[in-house]
Structure 1
Amino acid sequence: MPSILIDTIPIAQHKVGVRVYLRQLLEAIPAGDRGNIRLLCVQSNAHLYRDLENYQISVVPWSVSNRVTRAIVQQLAVPFATQRFGADVVFEPVDHAAILTPAPVVTSIHSGPINLHSDQFQGVREWYNRIMLPLSIQRSRCLIAISEFVARRMVDLYGVASEQIDVVHHGGGLVERAQRNGWSPPGIEDRDGDILFVSSLHPHKNADSLIRAYTRLRDQVQDAPALAVVGKDVNGRAIQLRKLTRDLGVADHVRFEGRVSDDRLLHLLKTSRLMVYPSSLEGFGLPAVEAMKAGIPLVASNRASVPEIVGDGGITVDPNDYEALASAMAEALTSPERQKELAEAGRKRGEAFSWEQTARQTLQVLERAAA
């Protein structure tokens, strides 16, 4: 097995998605393969990895407090560490590579190209991505895309040869880890909880579309469960969404929980009767996978990577068609037979995603790049 350097410098405590991705990936790598892997950290993120066994860890003696500093440290420290430790290949886990690295590079591309070309970045972040994304892609010997959708975007936007890209899906997130520890969700017939939305409140996550559809659902299903909105607020959007619930007369039936603990999220995934995931811009869509693995009937968007990930494990509809979204929710709530069918289809589809598979495929790409 080659000597592998994994650059963790871009991973910060507050960057939840990529932090979970790398942590779960590292936990899933077999202990016997870890001896040749070195994690390059900074003082401000080394605590995220010190408890992992059998990895070599090197800490750059700087603490990184903002995006600009993080980028500068990455570009300086990774080439130096690659040379010092004689790494055969460097793994860049999230979108951006250290350009001057004197070894083959494998970069995992998440949602950077999608967000950049959908005007999701602003200011310095937009400028940095416009420069660094194409340079990182050009510098990489091999590229990992987290979905077929992301792979197609790289081909279309940057002219990447498709044979340079390996599609490696994420695993099952919190639910998969809990199931390894004995957690087992009940059958759909034993659930008495809410309709669940899990995502940050960025506009493209379409929580407002869901609230409008939920208003229509209550006209169709008088005893419809409450709606639980779970996820980080973004630019005060929760205030706007609360106002929308008041304007539409459903404020008493919509609960905003903000960001929740893992235990609280597992409870919601164990009790909820339906998950709705209406996002229109995703590189992967982990909440959809967690819902399917938990056996929750799923109604999801038919945009971006979401239908690829959901497959036949749920109902996919236009997230901006409130009537279609409401009808799909009603379909998933009112028929016991349809509920069981969706729950079983979701569980089966969810089996396609595991961190062990993600780790195995990622190591294969790294070994090929080093060779």
Structure 2
Amino acid sequence: MRVLISGWFLQYPATGTGQYAWELLRHLPQARPNWTIGVAVPEGWSGSLPGGVAPVGVRSPRLPQDFQKLWFEQIALPRAAARWRADRLFVPYWAPPLRAPAPVIVTVHDLIPLLFPEYRASVGARLYTALVLAATPSVAHILTDSEASRRDILQRLRLSPERVTAVPLGVSERFTPRPDPILDVRVRTRYDLPPAYVLYLGGFDRRKNIETLLAVYTWAQDAIGDNFPLVIAGRLPEGSSRLFVDPRPLARAWGIEDVVRTIGPVAEEDKPALYRGASAFLYPSRYEGFGLPVLEAMACGVPVVASEIPALVELVGDAAYLLPPDDARAMAGALISVLVDFHLGQTLRERGIRRAAAFTWIACARRTAEIIEGV
């Protein structure tokens, strides 16, 4: 079988979609060694690919970035599938072409553009959302990351249940509680990390609930702030907007800037050590399709305090402390308990490691391959 996969997000390896595409490309050749797997990549892309997959260059005219992506998805990718004689076309994010020469399988990680109006505030965002909605009914099958997302898809897109399958993501073998003395010391020095800290690693868009993240420390700073400052990792937005929240002005306004540190973007290879160095992981997101940072934290043996939302309830089981996403006072109490109660913290560490071990990329790839074959 000849399977062509869209590689647009390989250009953005730090995104969740980029990580998903990369890990599937690593593991699909193991799951189906008899397949011929091609990866459609924009012309001029100079990155490397895992073994067992072949690049298929895709030409696009010189256009602004947003229009380049649209051209790639709707024009260039179907043409490449026809030229390459693909038996299946797999798009690992929500952007199916309106027409394609082979059955299309698409992964809809979540329905954020439909569930949160601020994500489609611009005319371009509304038009793009309308386009993918129009193209979705013609796809052969939809994959998604969790049963929670599957329920959203069935409810909002009104598709028949047999056309939508939840395939949980995996966690890379790099995320482990086992110390790496050289890496751990290098990361602590590179990011000027305190001896102990609570970590937040994720985005800064509105659904990530940055206001509650900081509000937790307005309740907790007197008890734990000096010993366990909040370390916020990730590329910060240039000020707050309708879609993004900059934590720095809020920390100053609420008088907690002394116990909140922002360290900026973190290289992918440094993330395991950053997790391992944390005493707890705080994640008050209002909506997730899966919750990969939570899984990575658990795999590294870090106790997790997070929001009680459907995808995270499904993901963590009894391996994390979950509370309502807007109850900063309760989250502060949970965080203090995890940090000062050794038995509770150790219990969550052990449960998290066991729970994370159930999520592997090879299992994700095998189930994905079954769906691709089945259509």
Q: TM-score normalised to the size of structure 1?
A: 0.89
Work out whether 1:251 is the aligned partner of 2:257: yes
Change in CA separation of 1:222 and 1:98 when aligned onto 2, cut-off 3 Å: closer
Which residue type is aligned with residue 243 of structure 1? P
Q: Distance in 2 between matches of 1:270 and 1:10?
A: 28
Q: Does 1:338 align with 2:344?
A: yes
- Shift in Å, 1:296: 0.3
List aligned pairs for 1:183-202, cutoff 5 A: 184-185=178-179, 193-202=196-205
Could you say if the C-alpha distance between residues 121 and 233 of structure 1 is closer, same or farther in structure 2, counting changes exceeding 3 Å? farther
Q: Is the 8 A contact 2:9 2:21 kept in 1?
A: no
Contact 2:238 2:246 in 1 (8 A): no
What is the CA distance between 1:212 and its match in structure 2? 1.3
Task: Using the TM superposition, name which of 115-124 and 248-257 deviates more.
Answer: 115-124
Match of 1:177 in 2: 174
Counterpart pick for 1:328 among 326, 334, 340:
334
> Could you give the per-residue CA deviations for residues 298-320 of structure 1, whole angstroms, max 9, x where no partner exists?
00111242222122110111121
1:117 partner letter: L
Work out whether residues 35 and 56 of structure 1, in 8 Å CA contact, stay in contact via their aligned partners in 2.
no
Q: Deviations over 1:179-207 (max 9, x none)?
A: 5xxx7249xxxx95210001111122122
Query: Residues 178, 304 of structure 1: CA spacing in aligned structure 2 closer, same or farther, 3 A cutoff?
Result: closer
| Displacement of 1:155 | 0.7
- Of 136-145 and 211-220, more deviation after overlay is shown by 211-220
Q: CA deviation at 1:326?
A: 0.5
Q: Which amino acid aligns with 2:211?
A: D
**Residue 106 of structure 2: aligned partner:** 107
2:51 aligned partner: 53
Alignment of 1:229-248 (within 5 A): 229-237=232-240, 240-248=246-254
SS class of match (2:325): coil
- What is the Cα deviation at residue 164 of structure 1? 1.0
What letter is aligned with 1:89?
R
Matches within 5 A, 1:295-306: 295-306=301-312
The reply on whether 1:357 has 2:354 as its aligned counterpart is no
Q: CA RMSD in A?
A: 2.3
Provide the rounded CA distance (Å) in 2 between the counterparts of 1:224 and 1:163. Answer: 51
AA paired with 2:82?
A: Q
Can you list the C-alpha shifts for 1:255-279, whole angstroms capped at 9, x where unaligned? 0012112344222211110001111
Structure 2 counterpart of 1:275, one-letter code: F
Alpha-carbon spacing, 1:240–1:52, altered in 2? closer, same or farther (3 Å): closer
> In 1, distance between residues paired with 2:51 and 2:10?
19
1:246 partner amino acid: R
Could you tell me which runs of 5 or more consecutive residues in structure 2 were left unpaired when the two chains were aligned: 181-193
Contact (CA 8 Å) 2:113, 2:129: kept in 1 or not? Answer: no
Q: What is the match of residue 206 of structure 1? A: 209
Question: Percent of counterpart pairs with the same letter?
Answer: 26
1:124 Cα shift? 4.0
1:15-94 equivalent positions in 2, closer than 5 A: 16-31=15-30, 33=33, 35-44=35-44, 46-48=45-47, 50-62=48-60, 66-94=65-93
Confirm or deny: 8 A CA contact 1:43 1:64 kept in the other structure. Answer: no
**Structure 2 counterpart of 1:226, from 225, 229, 243:** 229
1:117 corresponds to: 115
What is the total number of aligned residue pairs between the two structures? 356
Tell me how far apart the structure 1 counterparts of residues 307 and 156 of structure 2 sit (CA, whole Å): 23
1:268 counterpart = 2:274: yes
Do residues 281 (structure 1) and 275 (structure 2) align?
A: no
Q: Equivalent residue for 1:152?
A: 151
Which amino acid letter does the alignment assign opposite residue 43 of structure 2?
Answer: Q
**Letter aligned with residue 366 of structure 1:** I
* AA of the residue aligned to 2:334: A
Please tell me the residue identity of whatever aligns with 1:205: K
The whole-number CA distance in structure 2 between the counterparts of 1:34 and 1:93 is 21
For residue 190 of structure 2, what is the aligned residue in structure 1?
A: none
C-alpha separation between the residues in 1 aligned to 2:54 and 2:345?
A: 47
